[in-house]
Amino acid sequence: MKMQHTIKDTIGFSGIGLHTGCDVNVRLIPSGEDTGITFLRKDIPGSPAIRAVASNVVATSYATTIGAKGVTVSTIEHLMAALYGLGVDNAVVELDGPEVPVMDGSASHFIEAIEGVGLRAQASPRRHLVIKRPIKVEDRDKYVLFLPSEEAEFTIDYSIDFSHPMLNKQTFTGLFSTDVFKEEIAGARTFGFLRDIETLKANGLAKGGSLNNAIVIGDSDILNEDGLRYPDEFVRHKVLDLMGDISLIGAPVIGHLIAHRSGHSLNHRLVQEILRKPARWDFTDTFAEEKDVALKSTIFMDGSVPV
């Protein structure tokens, strides 16, 4: 039986928020079993808590933002992907600002920091959500489809197709394991088009963005002097974003995920659709009669109920 894990010790890091431009200090703190990932805004009186679950998602344009009672934390996806990819089930993320620091635009720093202290196994079993019947969401030619996995694993087929010569077609196909995540996905950086940056900034976004934390794509080349970390770094980063968004289900997933030109909004709609349709999946290590209890206690701990 696989057990739940938290981190062995508290970790601290600091950096700038990609969209807000705020300098933010973060502490990752071990937490008890069945508590999930919870963000705490230490800069606000009473340190309000926001649990990282899909029902707390309040915005999905350019980044994933969670919020509760008017307090938000934005750009959680790369840190959430790191926690999910390394198998951290329970932790508190304490921060003194409104956005998770972007670091180098990838999840590398989070991975190094978490691996620096290591993980601690906990007393409760880890419960996986197993897709039993297809679930799909789409938006014109964009879609995300979750199918049952014949091998009882989490596998991904992700394709992008931007109207730009640098990244008109890229695909990522493979098993999503901790090793694959660390070696193939975690180091891929966020990216943006030079042509969009002025518009983003005019809309109050990308205030902290620079060549130190994003790949900037010009008309026919990238502006970063050191080039790309992988020839297909763009699709790998989209997989990283997807993992962060999928983690908001609140349990690791087993299934075959096929995504085409997806983004935070569609990823979030997929998670909502999964949670709305419990007849299409099951929990491992859980008897059928426990499923309702598990649904309410684990995934909907914030009090909301599946429709």
- The residues carrying an active-site annotation are 264
Residue placing its CB nearer to Zn ion in the complex, 264 or 269: 264
Least Cβ distance, residue 267 to Zn ion (angstroms) = 11
220: tokens are: 């026919």
Q: Is 92 exposed, middle or buried (0-12, 13-18, 19+ CB in 10 A)?
A: buried
Specify the 3-state DSSP secondary structure of 139: strand
The answer to whether 99 contacts Zn ion (rule: CB under 5 A) is: no
Binding string to Zn ion for residues 191 to 230, with x set by CB under 5 A, is what?
Answer: ----------------------------------------
The answer to whether 245 contacts Zn ion (rule: CB under 5 A) is: no
The answer to whether 106 contacts Zn ion (rule: CB under 5 A) is: no
Select the span of 133-141, 184-192, 197-205, 273-281 touching Zn ion (CB under 5 A).
184-192
Cα 26 to Cα 17: distance, rounded to the nearest angstrom: 11
Cα 141 to Cα 191: distance, rounded to the nearest angstrom: 22
Residue placing its CB nearer to Zn ion in the complex, 64 or 72: 64
The answer to whether 233 contacts Zn ion (rule: CB under 5 A) is: no
Select the span of 28-36, 173-181, 190-198, 254-262 touching Zn ion (CB under 5 A).
190-198
**Which amino acid makes up residue 76?**
I
The answer to whether 38 contacts Zn ion (rule: CB under 5 A) is: no
Interface residue with Zn ion among 89, 99, 184, 241 (CB under 5 A) is 241
Least Cβ distance, residue 127 to Zn ion (angstroms) = 27
Q: Where are the beta strands (DSSP E) in the chain?
A: 3-7, 11-16, 23-30, 37-41, 49-51, 57-59, 65-68, 71-73, 91-95, 119-125, 129-131, 135-139, 142-147, 154-160, 170-175, 191-193, 215-217, 253-260, 281-283
Interface residue with Zn ion among 190, 213, 286, 298 (CB under 5 A) is 190
Residue placing its CB nearer to Zn ion in the complex, 74 or 298: 74
Specify the 3-state DSSP secondary structure of 174: strand
Select the span of 4-12, 187-195, 263-271, 286-294 touching Zn ion (CB under 5 A).
187-195
Least Cβ distance, residue 284 to Zn ion (angstroms) = 29
Cα 184 to Cα 140: distance, rounded to the nearest angstrom: 29
Least Cβ distance, residue 245 to Zn ion (angstroms) = 10
225: which residues sit within 8 A by CB, 6+ positions away? 211
Least Cβ distance, residue 94 to Zn ion (angstroms) = 22
**Does the CA dihedral 286-289-292-293 come out positive or negative?**
negative
Cα 109 to Cα 92: distance, rounded to the nearest angstrom: 17
Residue placing its CB nearer to Zn ion in the complex, 26 or 299: 26
- The binding site for Zn ion (CB under 5 A) comprises 190, 241
